Amino acid sequence: MATLIIAEHNDAHLNDATAKTLTAALALGQPVDILVAGKQAKAAADAAAQLSGVRSVLLADGDSLAERRAEPLADLVLSLAGKYDAILAPATSTGKNVAPRVAALLDVMQISEITKVVAPDTFERPIYAGNAIETVQTSDKTLVATVRIAAFAAAATGGNAPVETIAAPADSGLSSFVGADLSVSDRPELASARVIVSGGRALGSADKFQEVIAPLADQLKAAIGASRAAVDAGYAANDLQVGQTGKVVAPELYIAIGISGAIQHLAGMKDSKVIVAINKDGDAPIFQVADYGLVDDLFTVVPALTKALAN
Amino acid sequence: MKIIVPVKRVVDANIKIRVKADASGVELANVKMAMNPFDEIAVEEALRLKEAGKASEIIVVSVGAASAAETIRTALAMGADRGILVKAEGRVEPLAVAKLLKAIVAREEPGLVILGKQAIDDDSNQTGQMLAALLDWPQGTFASKVAVDGGQVEVTREVDGGLQTVSLALPAVVTTDLRLNEPRYASLPNIMKAKKKPLDETTPEALGVDATPRLEIVSTREPSGRQAGIKVASAAELVQKLKTAGVI
């Protein structure tokens, strides 16, 4: 049959997570359709149609889908599910919210955060904060899975799939949108950034966090991340948290500054290509995963590093 | 209204787990176990709602081996009113747990079910959403703020890029994120008192649920290790190494 992807987008822009999920979906060896559900989401649907390897794009446009709340979105996916034997969503906050709801309504077990497609019914996924990798096989009638986007490369563009408009579901009235408080940033998005500069508790204050981390991130055109300790202490916003309970990232370069390297943090970044640790405690666990470590006071080293990079 | 809080007994969050040499799973013998951290937050939130006069009774449910009763006792010591242990041996998947919870919800008729957003052992992040689906209730996942007002609950959710607030018609399912609250410790007198609180036992069979796992775990292995790195002496040397590695 075929595979359906629930696209990650904000109506105007298609998120990179969709192209990465497509790579996982194509590995299943079936035709792939992408569902773009939203309000005035034509632009995102057109972008999805350009992804290489897509059979068709289904655009569901309506008020009930404006914020992609789980209840109407799950109803929509369920109405399409009969035509598919696999439904994939990126493991973003939207994907993680809706996919299990769909799985339960189909009476199948979801496979969360797959990192590798071993066979169309067999997948690898991390458990215990990434400290073990489990290979699981499903015999359910429909595969429902979320895809860890840091584990797959984005599919190429250059496709030209047809965009088919489908009806948006009526809102059941179970939930309603009240408001959103989204961080506005000119920096690359954390989940898909090529370089990430991440700060921990050792920064000492929100001001110091900005003062030390931001110039280095600017110099490297990097996204800014943070450890849970830094977020809990109020030095950085919640959505910058990297780790088991925050974002899982795998950039080409991850610079951990004043981060000790608790297992929950390592779970979110240890698949980065090159890891740099700057910490004055030479015994900090972060040095066990760092390719390059610098044992020194971050308040002197980071400005020096920023300066050295500028030259 | 009643609040049901499902809790899971998992390997303590601070333990570095070991994969068994025969790839059959993770070593759990003689490993310290504890309540899943997100579930502690769920218990705490239920207690706060009760203290604010929004809830009448807090029922803690756990699915698992007999030892899961200890985890329920911990929640009772924090202040929950009574416990239900669904005794099940072996692996019980989120879908089966959701079905068991649905059966308990049908019996207890709570106004709210508060779960942790994920268990730190299987890292699934599914049970709350699945329960909401099976009940056809709204869901407020990854909650960092919960406000009950009349027939509605307003949930502020941690989403990629910031926060989102939704209003849900009660009854509803809420799953907790880390920043929802700071769970309290159980005091010694409360630990003693908790031993006298009611704890009922039931089974998947009694609840009419087939808890057989759907997924087969083929193998469990260690993640690929990273090559040992090197220490550099200065920022200049670091820049040179990163240039050689081609990442800047």
Three-state SS at B75: helix
Three-state SS at A303: helix
- Any A CB within 8 A of B181 CB: no
Residue A213: per-residue pLDDT: 98
- Residues A80-91 have a mean pLDDT of 98
Give how far B154 is from chain A: nearest CA, Å: 8
How far is A5 from A25, CA to CA, in rounded Å? Answer: 8
Tell me the CA distances in angstroms from A260 to A157, A264, A267, B142, one per residue in order.
40, 11, 13, 26
Give how far A88 is from chain B: nearest CA, Å: 14
Task: Express each pLDDT in A298-309 by its tens digit.
Answer: 999 999 999 999
- Residues B84-101 have a mean pLDDT of 97
In A, minimum Cα distance to B151 occurs at A174
Two tokens, residue A101: 């709801």
Of A89, A86, A117, A108, nearest to A3 by C-alpha is A86
Task: Express each pLDDT in A88-133 by its tens digit.
Answer: 999 999 999 999 999 999 999 999 999 999 999 999 999 999 999 9
Binary contact (A101, B122; C-beta < 8 A): no
Nearest to A74 among B124, B133, B214 (CB): B133
- List CB contacts (< 8 A) between A110 and chain B: 94-95, 124, 126, 130
How far is A228 from A225, CA to CA, in rounded Å? Answer: 10
- In this predicted model, which residue has the larger pLDDT, B66 or B228? B66
Neighbours of B5 (CB within 10 A): 29
Of A187, A271, A272, nearest to A236 by C-alpha is A187
Give how far A228 is from chain B: nearest CA, Å: 10
- Residues B196-217 have a mean pLDDT of 98
- A311 confidence band (pLDDT: 50, 70, 90): confident
| pTM across the whole model | 0.96
How big is the CA angle at B157 (ends A101 and B36), to the nearest 5 degrees?
Answer: 75
Complex confidence, ipTM: 0.96
Q: Is the dihedral of CA A216, A217, A220, A226 positive or negative?
A: positive
Binary contact (A100, B126; C-beta < 8 A): yes
Task: Express each pLDDT in A279-292 by its tens digit.
Answer: 999 999 999 999 99
Tell me the CA distances in angstroms from A104 to A254, B13, B94, B126, B229, one per residue in order.
37, 28, 9, 9, 44
- List CB contacts (< 8 A) between B127 and chain A: 100
- Residues A142-170 have a mean pLDDT of 96
A78 by Cβ neighbours in 10 Å (0-12 / 13-18 / 19+) ranks as: middle
Looking up tokens 């057109």 gives: A46
B226: pLDDT strictly greater than 90: no
Nearest to A134 among B142, B164, B217 (CB): B217
- List CB contacts (< 8 A) between B11 and chain A: 128
Helix axes B37-51, B68-78, angle to 10 degrees: 30
- List CB contacts (< 8 A) between B95 and chain A: 103-104, 107-110
Give how far B94 is from chain A: nearest CA, Å: 8
Of A124, A119, A120, A117, nearest to A143 by C-alpha is A120
Task: Express each pLDDT in B111-147 by its tens digit.
Answer: 999 999 999 999 999 999 999 999 999 999 999 999 9
How big is the CA angle at A297 (ends A293 and A303), to the nearest 5 degrees?
Answer: 90
- A34 confidence band (pLDDT: 50, 70, 90): very high
The CB-based long-range contact list for A167-170 (8 Å cut-off, 24+ gap) reads: A167/A60, A167/A62, A168/A37, A168/A60, A168/A61, A168/A62, A168/A63, A168/A64, A168/A65, A168/A72, A168/A76, A169/A60, A169/A62, A169/A64, A169/A65, A169/A72, A169/A75, A169/A76, A169/A79, A170/A64
What percent of chain B is modeled with pLDDT above 90?
96
Q: How many CA atoms lie within 13 A of A229 on its CB side?
A: 17
- A15 confidence band (pLDDT: 50, 70, 90): very high
Residue B193: per-residue pLDDT: 97
A21: pLDDT strictly greater than 90: yes
Nearest to B222 among A101, A132, A301 (CB): A132
- List CB contacts (< 8 A) between A108 and chain B: 95, 214
In A, minimum Cα distance to B235 occurs at A305
A155: pLDDT strictly greater than 90: yes
Two tokens, residue A209: 């966090």
- Residues B142-164 have a mean pLDDT of 96
List the domains of chain B with CATH numbers: 2-245 (3.40.50.620)
- Residues A134-156 have a mean pLDDT of 97
Residue B151: per-residue pLDDT: 96
Nearest to B247 among A132, A191, A252 (CB): A252
Q: Which residues of B52-70 are buried (b: 16+ CB within 10 A; e: fewer)?
A: eebbeebbbbbbbeeebbe
Q: Which chain B residues in 148-177 lie under 8 Å from chain A, judged by CB atoms?
A: 154, 157-169, 177
Q: Which chain B residues in 27-86 lie under 8 Å from chain A, judged by CB atoms?
A: none
